[in-house]
Amino acid sequence: LFRSSTSAGLSTDLLEDMDMSMDLLEATSRQSSDCDYLHLLMEDVAMTLSQAAGRNGLGNLVPGHDFAISINDPSQEDNPIIAISDEFEAMTGYSAEEITGRSARFLNEDCPDNFHHCMELHNTSLTGKPFIGVLTNTRRDGRQFLKVLNQRGFTVANNTETGEEHWLLVSLHLDVSDMLDTIDQDTFEERIPEIEAVMDKMMNNAVIAEKIMAMMRVLHQRLPHMQKPEWLTLSTPQWR
């Protein structure tokens, strides 16, 4: 259509500008579609996790048991968060725009330090080795809350030339603050290992792993530094 209009007096520069605008529009549309699809995949994972938690008796331990999900990319400087679920926004009070691209450490500001947990989390960010434990975080409004964090690496692709693996950090968050409204500290501490065991079991569930893999493929394809033909996306889920 644009090319045939040249004879009608449109300049070459104008045609090129129109073509560039169409290319930009198409790219923006594809990016928007990818974001919508990723959001659907992430919410599907969160829903599947909640359903699995109910079947495994987590509802008897934690009121609500709504899981929040975040994804970090250790291959980038400071291991930034690259995607979060709606539940993560609700849990922290921060929007995706405020969080994406930042290190998760800002959620620990003014929170009591646990040296052992800090060292384990650092090791997980370097190796993808699983971490599970109770952490204190701060919401956007300044209120602190307790959460159980299950975090581990998930290999997404291999570099066919170097053999290097590209893996992302998958984090499953469960706000357990409300438990202390109905039980004492000793009972709370007794229940935490049960909660951690259920969360660990769910992360190893084959159906959940397949859903996470679908989500990871979309994320991997969106990362600019992974847009090279030598990166081959894996066909099956692979926890580190």
pLDDT higher than 70, residue 77: yes
Residue 69 confidence class, pLDDT cut points 50, 70, 90 = very high
What percentage of the chain exceeds 70 in pLDDT?
A: 84
Output the average pLDDT for the chain. Answer: 81
* Residue 43, pLDDT score: 87
* pLDDT given at position 222: 82
d(CA 165, CA 40): 26
Q: Quick one: DSSP state of residue 112?
A: P
Residue 128: pLDDT band with limits 50, 70, 90: very high
Query: What is the per-residue pLDDT for 94?
Result: 95
CB 74 within 8 Å of CB 169: yes
Cα(196)–Cα(61) distance, rounded to whole angstroms? 11
pLDDT at 25: 36
Rounded distance between C-alpha atoms, residue 86 and residue 67, angstroms:
10
HSE (CB half, 13 Å, CA atoms) of 199? 32
Mean pLDDT of 229-238: 85
- Could you tell me the two tokens for 113? 């330090």
Neighbouring C-beta atoms of residue 79, cutoff 10 Å: 19
Q: Which of 203, 194, 172 is nearest to 58 (CA)?
A: 194
Q: How far is Cα 119 from Cα 102, in angstroms, rounded to an integer?
A: 20
pLDDT over 50 at 21, yes or no: no
Mean pLDDT, to the nearest integer, of 23-49?
Answer: 68
Poorest-pLDDT segment among 2-11, 122-131, 199-208: 2-11
Contact (CB, 8 A) for 137 and 81: no
pTM: 0.81
Specify the pLDDT at position 188: 87
Give the tokens for residue 38: 């990723």
Number of CB atoms found within 10 A of residue 222's CB: 15
Residue 2 clears pLDDT 70, i.e. is over it: no
Closest CA to 236 of 137, 151, 156: 156
**What's the pLDDT band for 4 if we cut at 50, 70, 90?**
very low
Which residue type is seen at 28?
A: T
Tokens of 157: 């692709």
Say which DSSP state 113 is in. P
Q: What is the mean pLDDT of residues 215-238?
A: 83
